[in-house]
């Protein structure tokens, strides 16, 4: 009925690790994220189809340069995440952490740009029930509604990603995530890249309409 | 490209580990930097193209470039190219689901208004 000491010993020394399952769980989660943003993209497509003139007029309010800079920042942050994975696999812990610090800095700069971007909109009275928004056409108001929801939800994902990567950095520092046990780093990278991909679509759809 | 085979030699000790331990697939800095340069170039192209008046083609061109960029990110940065086939199938199902809902929405939009 009861375990003998031998099997007890064995049970204590077995460390169960399933990197494949861990990665699969992350990918499945990412698909729910794609469908979350996908719903918003479908909403965007539908309203752009109905209000194409309003969308084109409203898009001129956005700063293409700022959008381009933010795109470059996010692409660079994605590169440094993947370089951090390579560095850790090559057993270079310090370089890996250095790359992840760059990613964190990129995320922070992205959010600061977003702060100024949104701040300028608020200043011009463009916010829900704001004075400028209420004088706009239905299409323009719809554009800004989607703009705030989609870039806002995206920004929230940047913050979550920074938290996730921060946690992974702590675990790398403590030698829990290592050259032979890096799936958590890989998963945080997958999340960060997905957030980057969403921005790759948001950028032309909101900033580059004519 | 099977990288996920059982390899518990330095983990767990007793060989009872039924999990799949991830292994590095020839990690290299160079390819990722190249992909990054490609992504920056495509960003420059999409901004430049937006300045030209392409009319109704503009949206299609912008989306095609975005699609190419995301394929680069998915295949290289997210390692899907080197990964197990099951993840590619997952992604395919996810994309088809999205496309079906998008198409059905536009059936409704074009015939209702």
Per-residue pLDDT, B58? 85
User: Above 90 in pLDDT, residue A152?
Assistant: yes
Within a domain: B37: yes
CB-based contact, A202 to chain B, within 8 Å: no
Within a domain: B101: no
Maximum alpha-carbon separation in chain B: 67
Within a domain: B9: no
Within a domain: B45: yes
A34, A181, A186 ranked by CB distance to B94: nearest:
A34
CB contact under 8 A, B97 and A89: no
User: Above 90 in pLDDT, residue A13?
Assistant: no
**Are the beta carbons of A139 and A57 closer than 8 angstroms?**
yes
Give the torsion through C-alpha atoms of A122, A202, A109, A105, to 10 deg. 150
Q: How far is B86 from chain A (nearest CA, A)?
A: 9
Within a domain: B108: no
Q: What is the C-alpha separation between A167 and B94, in angstroms, rounded? A: 29
User: Above 80 in pLDDT, residue A132?
Assistant: yes
Per-residue pLDDT, A16? 81
**Are the beta carbons of A52 and B112 closer than 8 angstroms?**
no
CB-based contact, A152 to chain B, within 8 Å: no
All structural domains of chain A, each given as residue ranges with its CATH number in brackets, are 22-207 (1.20.120.80)
Total domain count for chain B?
Answer: 1
Per-residue pLDDT, A129? 84
Per-residue pLDDT, A178? 92
Per-residue pLDDT, A72? 97
Per-residue pLDDT, A31? 93
Helix (H, G, I), strand (E, B) or coil at B85: helix
Q: How far is A20 from chain B (nearest CA, A)?
A: 5
Confidence of residue A199 (pLDDT cuts 50, 70, 90): very high
Per-residue pLDDT, A3? 52
End-to-end CA distance of chain B: 50
Q: How far is A18 from chain B (nearest CA, A)?
A: 4
Per-residue pLDDT, B8? 39
User: Above 70 in pLDDT, residue A87?
Assistant: yes
Q: Which domain holds residue B62?
A: 28-78
User: Above 60 in pLDDT, residue B14?
Assistant: no
Q: Which of A139-143, B24-28, B87-91, B106-110 comes out lowest in average pLDDT?
A: B24-28
ipTM beyond cut 0.85: yes
* Contact residues, chain B, for A180 at CB < 8 Å: 10-11, 21
Within a domain: B64: yes
Within a domain: B52: yes
């Amino acid at each position: 009925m009861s375990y003998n000491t031998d099997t007890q010993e064995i049970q204590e020394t077995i460390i169960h690790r399933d990197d494949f399952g861990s990665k699969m769980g992350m990918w499945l989660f990412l698909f729910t994220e794609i469908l979350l943003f996908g719903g918003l993209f479908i909403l965007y497509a539908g309203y752009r189809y109905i209000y194409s003139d309003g969308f084109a007029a409203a898009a001129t309010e956005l700063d293409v340069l700022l959008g381009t800079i933010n795109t470059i920042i996010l692409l660079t942050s994605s590169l440094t995440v993947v370089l951090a994975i390579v560095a850790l696999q090559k057993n270079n812990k310090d370089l890996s952490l250095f790359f992840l610090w760059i990613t964190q800095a990129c995320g922070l700069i992205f959010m600061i740009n977003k702060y100024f971007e949104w701040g300028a909109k608020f200043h011009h009275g463009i916010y829900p029930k704001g004075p400028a928004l209420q004088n706009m056409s239905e299409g323009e108001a719809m554009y800004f509604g989607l703009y705030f929801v989609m870039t806002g939800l995206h920004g929230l994902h940047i913050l979550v990603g920074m938290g996730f990567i921060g946690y992974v950095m702590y675990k790398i520092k403590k030698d829990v995530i290592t050259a032979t046990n890096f799936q958590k780093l890989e998963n945080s990278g997958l999340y960060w890249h997905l957030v980057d991909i969403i921005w790759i679509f948001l950028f032309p759809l909101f900033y580059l309409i004519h | 490209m099977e990288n996920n085979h059982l390899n518990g030699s330095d983990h767990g000790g007793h060989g009872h580990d039924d999990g799949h331990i991830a292994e590095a697939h020839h990690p290299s800095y160079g390819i990722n930097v190249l992909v990054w340069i490609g992504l920056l170039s495509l960003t420059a192209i999409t901004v430049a193209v937006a300045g030209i008046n392409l009319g109704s083609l503009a949206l299609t061109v912008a989306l095609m470039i975005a699609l190419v960029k995301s394929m680069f990110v998915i295949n290289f940065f997210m390692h899907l190219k080197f990964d197990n086939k099951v993840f590619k199938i997952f992604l395919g199902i996810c994309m088809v689901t999205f496309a079906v809902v998008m198409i059905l929405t536009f059936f409704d939009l074009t015939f209702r208004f």
